[in-house]
Amino acid sequence: MNVTFEMVRSSPEIRTYITQADASLTALGFTEHSFAHVTKCAEVAARILTQLGYTPKEVELARIAAYMHDIGNVVNRHDHALSGATMAFRILDKMGMEPPDVAAVITAIGHHDDSTAYPVNAIAAALILADKTDVRRSRVRNKEHQSFDIHDRVNYAAERSELTLDPERRTLTLSLGINTEFCAVMDYFEIFLERMLLCRRAAEFLELTFKLDINGLSLL
């Protein structure tokens, strides 16, 4: 059966897991991981593969993987990529998705978390890039500036965030506008250096050069 992104997005089961996973992360003090995050990841992952000429099927599977990538947080933040991949296998198999497509989705989900991430295929690479570049003020839930931790400061300081792919130059550029009243540029690197290196690795898998621009300065 051809399971589409629209079928996944409208699934009450999947929406329940996303909602509860985000509720758990809220209790733990994490930034937003709800529908805004997973929908943006789905859009960005699909756009990257579309611009690079991947097939409509691969683009659709990237959308699905990105939309479902954080459901494992409903179990626990620790190893959420593995639990999320296991959950996605059960859900998508039950929906009737063909085994090769299930395999592509769960492989991407299982390889997206910072500590174990690796672009083992194009869908995984697109998911890593979409997930790790979602830096924006609206992800911060803590409204008390005085109690911001470094993750809050970095995301709150991001007043502008754009990911631009140039197919001719084969570059993928994350351009950020950081308000240095809330966060020094070095704070950003303290938190996100590992993620930016993952983005570089994922971009290289897609035969792209990853670039990072902060406040008009090219840093990667």
- What mean pLDDT do residues 175-184 have? 88
For a pLDDT cut of 70, what percent of the chain falls above it?
Answer: 100
pLDDT above 90 for 123: yes
User: In this predicted model, what pLDDT tens digit does every residue of 40-93 receive, in sequence order?
Assistant: 999 999 999 999 999 999 999 999 999 999 999 999 999 999 999 999 999 999
Of the candidates 66, 208, 65, 84, the residue with the CA atom closest to the CA atom of residue 131: 66
Our CA angle for 85, 91, 94, nearest 5°, is 135
Of the candidates 117, 133, 119, the residue with the CA atom closest to the CA atom of residue 204: 119
Q: How far is CA 176 from CA 135, 155, 182, in A?
A: 8, 11, 14
DSSP state, residue 32? P
| Confidence tier at 137 by pLDDT (50, 70, 90) | confident
Domain residue limits, the chain: 5-218
Q: Which residues of 17-46 are buried (b: 16+ CB within 10 A; e: fewer)?
A: bbeebbebbeeeebbbbbeebbebbbebbb
Q: Which CATH class is domain 5-218?
A: mainly alpha
- What mean pLDDT do residues 1-28 have? 96
Mean pLDDT, the chain, as a whole number?
93
Q: How far apart are CA 174 and CA 38, in angstroms?
A: 18
According to DSSP, the β-strands at 171-178 and 209-214 are parallel
DSSP state, residue 217? E
